[in-house]
Amino acid sequence: MLIESVTTELPDTKTLRLKWPDGHNPEFLTGQFITVYWPDTPGYKRAYSLSSCALDRGAYEVTVKRDGKMGTRVVDWAKAGDKMFVLPPAGKFLPDFAPGKQLICIAGGSGVTPFRGFVREATRRNLDTKITVLYSVRTTNDIIFKQEFHELTLQNPNFNFYVTCTRLNEGDSWQGHRGRIDSAWVKEHVHDLPNTVFYACGPNALVEATEELVLQGLNVPKAQMKTEKWG
């Protein structure tokens, strides 16, 4: 597929828009990932969660952090007009939009990418699903999609976006939460536990820590939690 555009989200994070070929109108679900590779290295494939949603037609969007071989090549070298091979969307990290649900979406760093898709879809469809994103970053300069999430909170009264910063300097004027995501902070946002579904996405260590916090710390049944481990 043709890289239609490359948008810088942060100095080390970019969003690629991969244009669907003419006549291509794929069926897929918000929250799935695509697998991509470069024409010159077809044996080296990597997965990226869609940061767009299933209602966004015409192109896939993925948001990639400079990390490892593929992440570095994408962020430092991909440009509009380049071509990448793309395997069809797959995966079961899907938002539960059944009526009356609250989705608590926990992310660290680039793990927030699929949640933009969740919120975009819920907002565009005017769903009553409550979505709460709890997002851990190092500093206020590391918030991916800050502007779009802020706009979505204005458009969607059922969406809340909370950030915790883990590495601020003492004197920083940040008014929000500080420190790692812990069970007390998660619990503050749960209003109806039986109807709450927890999501965690990102590097294995963060997802595993979050699983423990939710399943053991908050005593949530496993069936109410979905995870996407990036490795």
Ligand X SMILES: Cc1cc2nc3c(=O)[nH]c(=O)nc-3n(C[C@H](O)[C@H](O)[C@H](O)COP(=O)(O)OP(=O)(O)OC[C@H]3O[C@@H](n4cnc5c(N)ncnc54)[C@H](O)[C@@H]3O)c2cc1C
In the three-class reduction of DSSP (H, G, I as helix; E, B as strand; rest coil), residue 123 is classed as helix
109: left (phi over 0), alpha (psi -120 to 50) or beta: left
Q: How many CB atoms lie within 10 A of CB 179?
A: 12
Say how far apart CA 125 and CA 159 lie, in whole Å.
13
- Measured from the CB atom, the residue of 113 and 132 that comes closer to ligand X is 113
Q: Does 198 participate in binding ligand X (rule CB under 6 A)?
A: no
CB 65, min distance to ligand X, A: 4
Would strands 225-229 and 196-202 be described as parallel, antiparallel, or unpaired? parallel
User: Contacts with ligand X: how many residues (CB under 6 A)?
Assistant: 19
- Measured from the CB atom, the residue of 127 and 206 that comes closer to ligand X is 206
The letter for the amino acid at 172 is: D
Enter the DSSP assignment of 68.
H
Enter the DSSP assignment of 216.
I
CB 41, min distance to ligand X, A: 10
Given 17, 65, 116, 120, the residue binding ligand X (CB under 6 A): 65
Given 70, 119, 165, 200, the residue binding ligand X (CB under 6 A): 70
Tell me which stretch binds ligand X (CB under 6 A): 46-54, 122-130, 131-139, 144-152. Answer: 46-54
Tell me which stretch binds ligand X (CB under 6 A): 43-51, 151-159, 162-170, 172-180. Answer: 43-51
Q: Does 69 participate in binding ligand X (rule CB under 6 A)?
A: yes
In the three-class reduction of DSSP (H, G, I as helix; E, B as strand; rest coil), residue 77 is classed as helix
Radius of gyration of the chain (CA): 17
Q: Does 52 participate in binding ligand X (rule CB under 6 A)?
A: no
Tell me which stretch binds ligand X (CB under 6 A): 42-50, 150-158, 159-167, 204-212. Answer: 42-50
Would strands 102-108 and 85-90 be described as parallel, antiparallel, or unpaired? unpaired
Q: Does 12 participate in binding ligand X (rule CB under 6 A)?
A: no
Q: Does 109 participate in binding ligand X (rule CB under 6 A)?
A: no
Q: Does 116 participate in binding ligand X (rule CB under 6 A)?
A: no
- 16 to 35, contacts with ligand X by CB under 6 A? 33
Given 2, 47, 94, 168, the residue binding ligand X (CB under 6 A): 47
| CB-CB contact of 13 with 65 (8 Å) | yes
Given 11, 26, 68, 88, the residue binding ligand X (CB under 6 A): 68
| Percentages of the chain per state (helix, strand, coil), in multiples of 5 | 30, 35, 40
Chain position carrying tokens 């709460």: 132
Site of interaction with ligand X (CB under 6 A): 33, 46-49, 62-65, 67-71, 110, 113, 228, 230-231
